[in-house]
Every structure is written in structure tokens, then in C-alpha cells.
Structure 1
Amino acid sequence: MADRKLFALVSILILISIILTYSLSAYTTLLFGVSEFHFAIRQAAFGLMGVIIIWLLAQLDPDEWLAPIGFTLFIGSAILMIAMPFLPEFLVSAVGGAKRWIKVFGFSIAPVEFFKVGFVYFLAWSFSRKLGDHAGMGIGAEFKRFIPYALVFVGAMFMIAFVQNDLGQVVVLGMTLLFMLMFAGSSFRFFLSLLFISLSFFMFFIFTAEHRITRIKSWWALAQNSVLELFPTSIAEKLRVPTEIEPYQIGHSINAIHNGGMFGTGLGGGTFKLGFLSEVHTDFVLAGLAEEFGFFGVLFVVFLFMWILQRIFKIANRSKDTSIYLFSLGIGLLLSFAFIVNAYGISGITPIKGISVPFLSYGGSAMIAASIAIGMVLMASKKADLE
């Protein structure tokens, strides 16, 4: 039997997302001249569709359906991402020159959201067959064994970071790949080596794109005062960024969090959603949650999310099938890193990466893709001893 607790917990989080979407989109509905329920109704439709998808997938036999669904997501979404730059304008939506969404019947679908789930399945399927114990294996042999996966990841990185101009998704995928490698049987020395190489590539991507450099400077302008006071004055002055660089979004996000205090302003009582934070119901939903429901509201959502992860990791830990173990683990890591990257960004700890909060941020593609991931984990949980 599939894990009913996981199904219930995800359903509760989806319900919270619908309530937050209604409250936090108040200004956006006025800005676009649509009904006050416009985004809430759409999110409710996405949420209902997500719950149905989770339930339907949970009924399927993992031995028969897990692989076809996983490979369809991986190969199908990869083909769509490769084709997107060549599709006509009426079929794709572009933001800042980057084509990230495909228009289908009035909705926009982001193939990268589905690719992440398929990529995790591909890694789990392949790692369970190719990787294993590293005893007696030198680091050179481990790198040789990793080459095919490196090529796949570099291809994905090119499509996402360069073609779609979305470095945040690459960060989440890269971190998931690294930790899945370690749990699949690679040595800790190899893990640290890949981590260093990944950080080097990450810095390369930042310093080769002007908009990313500007974003880093904007973040640093806000964070520098608290950090530089730890350094000698001579060094601090060299690292200081001119104050005219205004960290607009991060500044208002932090002020929204501060305004919420311990108990919040109440549902609908937030002020920073009124034009100060653009479309707060999407990437800044945690800041909106903090303002209207306070510290305890955020704590409740974090507790709920942690409970979801605990159920996913329990399924992984109780699975005797290595591919199911790695897939469940990978989905848990994928959701964890997305939540952490978003939370760190809206609180000013790291630069904003444009990563949505799983099941909480407004958006159909992210909701449906995450629901498919949970549905596949629930399908796989039938082979795990959860008693």
C-alpha cells in the first residue's frame, strides 16, 4: 500500500498554496485587470490536478510503470528544451530573450520542471547499474566512471543555463547529482573533487553574464555591512560595493519578513505585496507567508515540509531495490535544495535564483511536475516496508 501520510501532507501543502495565492496576488490582479480570484482559481485547478495525478500514480505497479514514466519525462522534456529556441513565437513565451515556456491551450508549460524529475530517475536507474562500492578504486578510475554522466549533465547545463538563461535550476540539479553520487557509492574524496569543480563552473557562469554580476552586487550591497565588520578596515573598504546599487527585491523581502514578526499581520493584512514585491505569490511566497502569518506560520510550513521529506527519505531507506532507493532519495534532495535555495534567497543569505518553493509557489508546471514526482515516489513506496 502506498504511503497515505505522504499523500495527506502534500495535499495540505497544496491547500495552503491556494490560500496564499489568493491573498498574496491582490495587487497583481489589479495590475493586470483580472478578477481577484484569477490566480487562486488557476492555482486551485493546478492543485486539484496535482492531487489527482498523485493519487492515480500511487495506484500503479512500480515494476510496470515507473521506468516508462521516468524515461518519458527525461527524454521528452529534453527534446522539448532542445526544440524551444527554434519554435515560432506564438508557441513559446520569452522573458529577457530566454525561451522557457511552451504555450498550450492558454497555459504555459516549463519543460525544465519535468526534466528535473526525469533526470533524477535516469540517474537513479543508471547509478544502480553502473556504480557501487569504490573500494580499491582510485580517484582517476572514479572520474573515468563518471564521464558519461558528466556529458549528460553538461548537455543539460548548456540547455538550461545558456539557452534558457536559468542558472538557478542548474544549481539545484548539480547539488542533487553530487549527493546522489555519494549515496550511490562514490568516495567522499571524489565528492569533494566534484564539488570544487562545480563551484569553479558556477563562478565561471556568474562572471560571464552581466545580469548575474549585477544580481550578485545587488545582494552584496545588502549583506556587506554585517559581513565586512568582521574584516579589518583596509580589506573591508576594498570589498565594499557602492551604495547606489539598490537591492530592491531582497530589501523589501527582508522588510516583509520583519513586518510579520512572531504572529504576522493576518491573512490579507500584508502590505509589501501591494507593489513593493513583484508577484509575491510566485518566487517570494515565503516572504508573503512570513508577513501575514509570522514566524509561527513559517515554522508550521517548514515543519510540514520537513515531515514530507522524512516520509520520502523513509521510503528510500526501506526500499530494497537500489534504483527505487536512489530515485526516492533524489526526489527528496531535489525538493530540499529548491526550498533551501528559495528560502536563502528571499532572506538575503544568498542571491535570488528564481527558484519556486515546491507545492507552495504559484505555477502550473512546477506544481504538476512536483506532483508527478511525489506520485512516482508513492508508487515506489509499495515496494518499501513502511510498517
Structure 2
Amino acid sequence: MYSADRKLFTLVSILIGIGIVLSYTLTPYTTLLFDVSQFHFVIRQSIFGLLGISIIFGLSQLNPDKWLKPIGLTLFAVSLILMIAMPFLPESVVSAVGGAKRWIKVAGFSLAPVEFFKVGFVYFLAWSFSRKLGHHDGMGLKNEFKRFLPYAVIFVMAMFIIAFLQKDIGQVVVLGATLLFMLMFAGSSFRFFFTILGGIFTAIVIFILTAHHRILRIKSWWALAQNSVLGLLPDSIADKLRVPVEVEPYQIGNSLNAIHNGGLFGTGLGDGTFKLGFLSEVHTDFVLAGLSEEFGFIGLLFVVFIFLWMIQRIFKIANRSEDMSIYLFSMGIGLVLSFEFLVNAYGISGITPIKGISVPFLSYGGSAMLGAAFGVGMVLMASKKAKMDKGKKL
């Protein structure tokens, strides 16, 4: 058995280190707003960052033949049970924001089970797909649907819990996209792929139309994006699609202004202005905007380069794996991290509506950090079984 991929471990550690720095430089206004120490957020992020690195390193040392399956299925089962139970737990145990119970209180911290569910869900799909699915071999669309039905039931149940009970449609988008591509990698036909894609798109539209706050987010986004889009269409069509600006898209507007203010080289560490009350949650959902303002396009390009290199290492582990479950799991984790980054980046730049998805390893938050750490740690554990190319390391 080979050693774990050291490059992947190093790249993730660099991203975690950058996230810790950002949790300090982007939070001066937030610390004053909540009347806490100026080191409040950086200390907490440092704790979770070091814990995340420890988890990744610890998992990478384990034997994948012995530990990968128990850890993956335990994450899936326990986090699913917690998400089902959370609406019925008292507020002394769970934290509620906007009527949605998403976090469980643990030793002064709040952890979101959905972050660990994503990793467990990906492993469950990889483990099950490798046993039940294979190449479609002309089996027909009807038989492919029959084969997929049990997974559809599980996904719909999880989607109901996350989208309706926890009011977090962004996670559903990430999980739905990951499920779709994992199906394709597991051997489903393109016709089945596009049929499921249409079904998921329809479900997302229904979720948006059944919640007023999601409709407001769409209107806020469209109010900002409509001029550039409708300018490409004939006036007769553009006038019908244009909506009045009922909700001021100040978050996206300030995010774009922060990115523009950073220019090529940025304002400098700690010298950003939009973090001073103009752009709320800049250290969480809008961390890339804060990064762009203080470190400029060069700083953002560096972070994107490190992130893409990390994803490339994960996909390389997948492609070198002869075990189908490890191949699918590594692909799934790489897809989850990629979709989270893209959904966040597109949201803060106004290309798509904001979904409230954090940037892996960069955004402030312990749950997202630890959940992603479990995912990468398990990939590193699995990488020890990846096939070498003529005896060379990965």
C-alpha cells in the first residue's frame, strides 16, 4: 500500500492558513458589532483550522480497507438522523436562525450536521453505485429509472429536510449536481443524465417559487443583472422580462464594488473598506470579495490556483484508483468542493443568485471546515490504494 498524497495535504493546509488570516483581517466591524474581542473570530477559526488539519492527517494514516467504509457510512447515518431530529429538539440544544434549525450546540460551538451529511452522502452513493450500478449497456431509460429509484427516494427525503425544514436550498443545489455527475461517472446513459437534469431543475424552480425569501433573492439578483442581459434582446422582449427594482441588491452591489476597489494588487492587508459595515458576512459568504479587495486580482488568482490544484490532485487520485467505490467517492468529494466554490463565486459576482454557500477552507465557520476536512482526509486515506504510474508517486 502506498503513502498518502502529500501534495494534497499541503495544498489544503495552505488554504486553511489563508482562511485563518482572512478571519482576522475581514472582521474588525463584526467584532465591534457583536462586542467581542478583535481576536474572537481568528481564535475560533484557528481552533477549527488546526482541528481540521489534524483530522485530515489522522484519517490519512488509517487503512482504507478497514476504516473507509465504517467512517463513511457512519457519517451518512448519524448526520441524517440528526437532521431528521433537529426540528423536534429544544432550542437549548439547537440554534435557530430565521425559523430554521440548522446547528447543534456542542461545547460552546454550533455544528451543522448537513456539512457532514454531504461527505457521508457522497460515500454512500459511491459505495452503493459501485455495487448496484454499472454501464447501462442499452438497458433502456425505463430500467435505468428503476435502478435509480431507491437513490431518488433518499435524495428527495434529504432534499425535503434541507430545503424545507432547514431552508437551505444552496446545499440541495450542490448535492443534486454532485448526484447527477456521479450517476454519469457510475455508467448511466447521457439520455438518463439529461432527464434527471431536467427533473432537478424543475424541483429547484418549485422550491424557489414556494418560498417568499427565495423569490426576493431572485428578484434582487435579476434587478442587478437584467440590464446587461436584456440589452442583448429586442426591446419588445426585454420590456416584458424587465422587473422593477423593488429590493435593492445592496449585497451584490457592494460585493462587486469591493472586487473593483481591489484592482490588480489590492488595498493591502487590513486596509479594505467595504468590510466596515457595507458588506455584511464578508468573512463567511463574501470572503472572496473581501479577499479581492485587500489582495487584489493577483491574490484571488493565487487562491484560485491553489484551489484548482487541490481539485486536480483529488481527481488524479480518483483516476488512479482501481477500486470503483474509491474512484466514485474521490470524484464526488472533488465535485462537492468545486460546486461549492463555483456557487459562491458566481453568487458574489452577480452571475447567479446568492445561495449562502461558503467557500471550502476559506470561509469562517467550524462546521464547513470540519466537514470538508473529513472529505479530504478520507480521500487521502483512499489515495494509499491509488495505482502508481510505473512506480512513481502520485
Question: Shorter-chain TM-score category?
Answer: over 0.9
Letter in 1 for 2:81: I
Q: Which runs of 5+ in 1 are unaligned?
A: none
The answer as to 2:317 corresponding to 1:349 is no
Q: CA deviation at 1:248?
A: 1.3
Q: CA deviation at 1:102?
A: 0.6
Distance 2:147 2:15 in 1: 40
For 1:311, the equivalent position in structure 2 comes to 313
Map of 1:268-283 to 2, 5 A cutoff?
A: 268-283=270-285
For 2:11, the equivalent position in structure 1 comes to 9
Distance 2:308 2:247 in 1: 36
The answer as to 2:95 corresponding to 1:93 is yes
Letter in 1 for 2:60: A
Aligned with 2:206: secondary structure? helix
1:79-100 Cα shifts (integer Å, max 9, x gaps): 0000000000111111110000
Q: CA deviation at 1:234?
A: 1.8
For 1:265, the equivalent position in structure 2 comes to 267
For 2:225, the equivalent position in structure 1 comes to 223
1:49-71 Cα shifts (integer Å, max 9, x gaps): 00011111000000000011001
Aligned with 2:224: secondary structure? helix
Q: CA RMSD in A?
A: 0.7
For 1:380, the equivalent position in structure 2 comes to 382
Distance 2:352 2:28 in 1: 28
Distance 1:264 1:238 in 2: 40
For 1:43, the equivalent position in structure 2 comes to 45
Aligned with 2:310: secondary structure? helix
For 1:64, the equivalent position in structure 2 comes to 66
Q: CA deviation at 1:42?
A: 0.5
Letter in 2 for 1:173: L
Letter in 1 for 2:49: G
CA contact (8 A) 2:220 2:245 kept: no
For 2:135, the equivalent position in structure 1 comes to 133
The match for 1:192 among 191, 194, 200 is 194
Q: CA deviation at 1:385?
A: 2.4
The match for 2:146 among 140, 144, 147 is 144
The two structures have a TM-score, normalised by structure 2, of 0.97
1:251-296 Cα shifts (integer Å, max 9, x gaps): 1101101111111101101100000111210010000001001111
The answer as to 2:87 corresponding to 1:77 is no
1:337-386 Cα shifts (integer Å, max 9, x gaps): 00000000000000000000000000001001101111100000000024
Aligned with 1:93: secondary structure? strand
Aligned with 2:174: secondary structure? helix
CA contact (8 A) 2:321 2:327 kept: yes
Q: CA deviation at 1:136?
A: 2.1
Distance 2:290 2:256 in 1: 10
Distance 1:196 1:110 in 2: 29
Aligned with 1:349: secondary structure? coil
Q: Which runs of 5+ in 2 are unaligned?
A: none
1:116-163 Cα shifts (integer Å, max 9, x gaps): 000000000000001101112101110110000000000100110011
Distance 2:205 2:90 in 1: 33
For 2:248, the equivalent position in structure 1 comes to 246
Aligned with 2:219: secondary structure? helix
Distance 1:136 1:267 in 2: 58
Distance 2:311 2:383 in 1: 14
Distance 2:376 2:320 in 1: 16
Distance 1:279 1:325 in 2: 36
For 1:298, the equivalent position in structure 2 comes to 300
The two structures have a TM-score, normalised by structure 1, of 0.99
Letter in 1 for 2:266: G
Aligned with 1:89: secondary structure? coil
For 2:365, the equivalent position in structure 1 comes to 363
Deviates more, 1:164-173 or 1:135-144: 135-144
Distance 1:268 1:49 in 2: 26
Aligned length: 387
Distance 1:385 1:316 in 2: 10
Distance 2:270 2:261 in 1: 14
For 1:166, the equivalent position in structure 2 comes to 168
For 1:236, the equivalent position in structure 2 comes to 238
The percent of aligned pairs where both chains have the same amino acid is 76
1:185-237 Cα shifts (integer Å, max 9, x gaps): 00011100000111111111111111111110000000011001111112111
The answer as to 2:211 corresponding to 1:203 is no
For 1:320, the equivalent position in structure 2 comes to 322
Aligned with 2:128: secondary structure? helix
Distance 1:173 1:296 in 2: 31
Q: CA deviation at 1:300?
A: 0.4
CA contact (8 A) 2:11 2:310 kept: yes
Aligned with 1:90: secondary structure? coil
Distance 1:172 1:243 in 2: 29
Q: CA deviation at 1:105?
A: 1.0
